[in-house]
Amino acid sequence: MTPWDELPCAVVITAATGRVLDVNSELLILAGGSRESRIGASIEDLLPPAGRIFLQTHVWPTLLRDGRIQEIHLQLSCADRTRVPVLLNCRLGAHLGQPAYYWTLFAARDRHRFEAELVEQRNLAEATN
């Protein structure tokens, strides 16, 4: 058990290369798999193809420039092949004396559903006018 297992959100700690150094129990609940199977893998393994592209073209460049990124909407690819919408925050820190990135992922199922309903209602209102 790690100290971040007590946090109410999924946590992934990676090296600057994106290699996973540790995860918390909430990430395992959300994405599936075991701690052993996640450690040493790439952060990209948690994302579907479109998310991997966005990670490479936007997230990593922003992290390298600013050392942090906030409120990025992505989908997490779970072990059972389902996808979960998440909000991602990340910042540079240190893990065992080495530079590391701390990623927090907040499941956003309800927010995603609410936004889709808003868009649907707006489209309906525009169609009626």
Per-residue model confidence (pLDDT) at position 78: 87
- Non-local CB neighbours of 103 within 8 Å, separated by 6+ positions: 11, 12, 13, 14, 43, 88, 89, 90
This prediction's pTM: 0.82
- Most distant CA pair in the chain: distance in Å? 61
pLDDT in tens, 48-76: 999 999 999 999 999 999 999 999 999 99
Distance from C-alpha of 116 to C-alpha of 33, rounded to nearest angstrom: 29
**CATH assignment at residue 35:** 3.30.450.20
pLDDT in tens, 13-46: 999 999 999 999 999 999 999 999 999 999 999 9
Smallest CA-to-CA distance from 69 within 50, 88, 93 is with 88
103 and 43 in contact (C-beta within 8 Å)? yes
Domain count, the chain: 1
Range of the domain at 49: 3-128
